[in-house]
Every structure is written in structure tokens, then in C-alpha cells.
Structure 1
Amino acid sequence: MTITVAGEKKEYKDGLTLPELIEIEDVETPQYVTVSINDEFVPTEEKESTILKEGDSVEFLYFMGGGC
């Protein structure tokens, strides 16, 4: 199946789960990353059970602190 990850279309196996994608994409600090699929945030408690579908668009979002 084809899904878009961080703006890039890629091929993955059917039935790919979000945790599998996070591992394949070697996401830094996966426990702290926020994920959106098709512009909707995935609640933390649903990450483990989320199965991706053909045409999904996935973004990994990292919140950065900083300032003076």
C-alpha cells in the first residue's frame, strides 16, 4: 500500500500498524512523538492499535521547548 510519511509517498505492507511504522522510520524518541494521520492527532492510548490504510498521510510532530 502507498502512504505519505512526512510529505513523501512510500510503499509499505498492507495492515501496517503505527508502532511498526514508527520502528521502520526510525523515529527519534517515539515515546515523546505526536502523530497525526490525515491531519488528525492520534491519541496516545490509540497509538498501539492504529492500523494504517492505503492513502493515509502521516506526520511525526516533535514539540520543542526553548526561549529565554
Structure 2
Amino acid sequence: MIITANGKPAELSGEVSVSRMLEELKISDPLYVTVQLNEELVPRADFDTALVREGAVVEFLYYMGGGADGQGPC
């Protein structure tokens, strides 16, 4: 089946869980990714039960923290 992942078509073996989708699409750092499925954030606790269906729109979000740049107060 075909979904849209980060704005590009992607193929999955069928209706799968979010966890399985991460595996099939070989998403880097799956422990640190936030998944938005059809414009809704999927809680990490639901990755094994939330289903990705034909035509789904998925975004993978990585939140990066930054440190002080030494130029001002933290």
C-alpha cells in the first residue's frame, strides 16, 4: 500500500502499526522520532497499536536541543 511520508510516496507491506512502519521505512533513530499520523501526534505508548492505513499522511519529527553558544546568559 502507498502512504505519504515526509511529503514523498512510500510503500508498506499492508496495514501496519506505527512501530512496524518505522522498521519497514528504515527510519533512523526510531527511539527519538515523533510521529504525526494524519495531522495528529501519535503517543509513543501507542506505536504498537496505532495503525497506518492506505493513503495515510505521515511526518517524522526530530526535536533537537541546543546548548549555549557562549555569547550570552543561559
TM range (shorter): 0.7 to 0.9
Specify every segment of 5 or more residues in structure 2 that has no aligned partner in the other structure, as ranges.
Answer: 69-74
Between structures 1 and 2, the one with greater strand share: 2
Q: Which sections of structure 1, spanning at least 5 residues, go unmatched?
A: none
2:71 maps to what in 1?
none
Write out per-residue CA displacement over residues 19-51 of structure 1, whole angstroms, 9 at most, x where no aligned residue. Answer: 111112222221121100011100111111111
What residue is the counterpart of 2:3 in the other structure? Answer: 3
| Structure ID, larger Rg | 2
Partner of 2:35: 35
RMSD: 1.3
1:11 positional shift:
2.4
Question: Which has the higher relative contact order, 1 or 2, with Cα contacts under 8 A spaced 6 or more apart?
Answer: 1
TM-score, scaled relative to structure 1:
0.85
